[in-house]
Amino acid sequence: MIRISALQTLTSISRHRAKKKGLCVAFGVSDSLVKIMQKRSLASPAYRRFLVRNKRAAMTAAGPGSISMPEPPATQMHTIASIATPTTGFETTSIETAKSMPLSFAQLDNVTLVTLGRLNVDGAVTEILKRHIMSVDHVSYEEAEKISDKINAFNIEGMIVYTMPYKVGMVVAASAAFASFPLCFHADSVLYFNENFVTMDAPGAGELDTWLEVGSWAWNWMEPPLGQISFVLLCMQYVRGQMVNLGIRPFTAHVKTRRAKRLVEKFPQYNAELLSHFSQSGSFS
């Protein structure tokens, strides 16, 4: 015996399908598309939860000794592969999928490699160059690696001159940062600096007993240069931020463009655009 609630549930589902089909016909949708829509609705997780919820409600209302609502036909539980979802938990990776995962750029396909190369991934750009060398020179991968190393060595040749401003700036900034501590708080260093560069009257006896007193006295002449330097750096940092927003890198862009042009002229047998991108995406060392 089937309970009335179960019959009402199936009746409402049938009416809903008929209504959906009528709307599809009214809007000129083909019968095949209607069938696909019906299958998708029947295969959806929401519809499955709806069936389970109604089944549990019918069993609870029936009590012990009553006949439960029958399972829906297998055709109603048809699952389309493109929208299939796991019934319990999350679907995990299989061993076959894990074993097929590429472990280096050399194992990637050409489309993935070119995509990563356009994102300036160094390993991908180098691998693209190796494959291009193989196709042009008809050599093995090992031989293409040697030629690629030769091209890279020529690409960074002479860069020590162009990287000198960066290195000098790093050394000066680090030296000034560490020298500021003794010049502010070390009594002997402060007295020596005052005697040779500032010539301010020395404090009285007992006024330089602690490092805080030394710093308070040294701050009389240390504050103007440190404050001015900090303000200049703040303004230059703002200017650099706006240059980054505009995509402007005057010195670096000029050096990399000149280096790329030199590399293309050195190896004319290879694609000029590929060599130029390899040169400009690489570092100075």
Domain boundaries, the chain: 4-83, 105-155+252-281, 161-248
Report the percentage of the chain scoring pLDDT > 90: 47
Residues 6+ apart with CB under 8 A from 226: 180
pLDDT for 27 equals 44
Is residue 26 very low, low, confident or very high in pLDDT (cuts 50, 70, 90)?
very low
Please name the residues in contact with 45: beta carbons below 8 A apart, sequence gap of 6 or more.
Answer: 85
Q: How confident is the model at residue 132 (pLDDT cuts 50, 70, 90)?
A: very high
Quote the distance between the C-alpha of residue 276 and its chain's center: 24
pLDDT at 56 over 70: yes
- The amino acid at residue 81 is A
pLDDT higher than threshold 80 for residue 31? no
Q: Can you give the pLDDT at residue 80?
A: 41
Mean pLDDT of 187-208: 90
For the segment 269-279, what is each residue's pLDDT rounded down to a tens digit?
999 999 999 99
Please tell me the predicted confidence (pLDDT) of residue 147.
95
- Check residue 42 and give its pLDDT: 58
Query: What confidence score (pLDDT) does residue 225 get?
Result: 92
Least confident of 58-72, 128-142, 159-173: 58-72
Better-predicted residue by pLDDT, 159 or 80: 159
Question: Does residue 34 have a pLDDT over 80?
Answer: no
> Does residue 174 carry a pLDDT above 80?
yes
- Asked which of 202-206, 236-240, 264-268 is least confident by mean pLDDT, the reply is 202-206
For residue 12, the model assigns a pLDDT of 53
39: confidence class by pLDDT, cuts 50, 70, 90: low
Query: What region, left, alpha or beta, does residue 153 occupy, with left being phi > 0 and alpha being psi -120 to 50 degrees?
Result: alpha
- Residue 271 has phi, psi (to 5 degrees) of -60, 125
- Please give the C-alpha separations between residue 28 and each of 23, 32, 91, 186, in angstroms, as whole numbers: 9, 12, 39, 89
pLDDT in tens, 81-97: 444 444 455 567 888 88
Q: Which residues contact 30 (CB under 8 A, 6 or more apart)?
A: none
pLDDT at 204: 85
- Please state the rounded mean pLDDT for residues 43-65: 72
In the structure, what pLDDT confidence band is assigned to residue 10 with cuts at 50, 70 and 90?
very low
* Lowest pLDDT segment from 11-15, 224-228, 237-241: 11-15
